[in-house]
Chain A
Amino acid sequence: QKEVEQDPGPLSVPEGAIVSLNCTYSNSAFQYFMWYRQYSRKGPELLMYTYSSGNKEDGRFTAQVDKSSKYISLFIRDSQPSDSATYLCAGGDFGNEKLTFGTGTRLTIIP
């Protein structure tokens, strides 16, 4: 079992819809989480990071962490065609410095 599981998609939604992207993790040591967006042939771009359970909002993006169920989510409001990309979730623990990534979910926003 991978430490971070993520549905690879692809996921297609119409422009303007709310997108929900989800990950589960198995490593109880994970204490912080990050969401990255990756366009084709580009590096991952940091979208959100959170160190605690609960919600964190930044513009159209909301990250949600539920440590009791080991479940993390990213919501995108008013989705745009430019949001079409692969979204990666990652977990880390304070005992070491590496991030453990999911496989990524490929998202397409249909105009």
Chain B
Amino acid sequence: DTGVSQNPRHKITKRGQNVTFRCDPISEHNRLYWYRQTLGQGPEFLTYFQNEAQLEKSRLLSDRFSAERPKGSFSTLEIQRTEQGDSAMYLCASSLGRNQPQHFGDGTRLSIL
């Protein structure tokens, strides 16, 4: 199965540390999206890429968050100086094109001690 792959599946870190997550989209998909999901809520949009270009960022994406997709393939999401409120599931999705169905990975669960 060549679906969306996310690593690590679970990250535990202390408050104030930096963390980085990786997402590998479905190979032919040029769109890549990041969402955040907290317990009992639906996913909330963070940002998306068309190839290597980051085209939209939610206001949820504070200055401590940065995302890259350097070669238009995999993407990384980095959170600097983590806070308790950053604890959530970070989901990555990809799609074939504009407004096409988005396919999600199984996410990275971030726990802040």
Contacts and interface: CB of A to CB of B under 8 A. Distances in A.
Interface of A: 4, 6, 8, 32, 34, 36, 41-46, 49, 88, 90, 92, 94, 96-104
B29 interface: no
Interface in B63-110: 91, 98-99, 101-107, 109
Interface of B: 4, 6, 31, 33, 40-45, 48, 55-56, 58, 91, 98-99, 101-107, 109
B53 to A, nearest CB: 12
Which one of B45, B56, B58 has the highest number of Cβ atoms from chain A below 10 Å of its Cβ? B45
B56 A42 contact: no
B99 A92 contact: yes
B101 A49 contact: yes
Contacts of A41: 106, 109
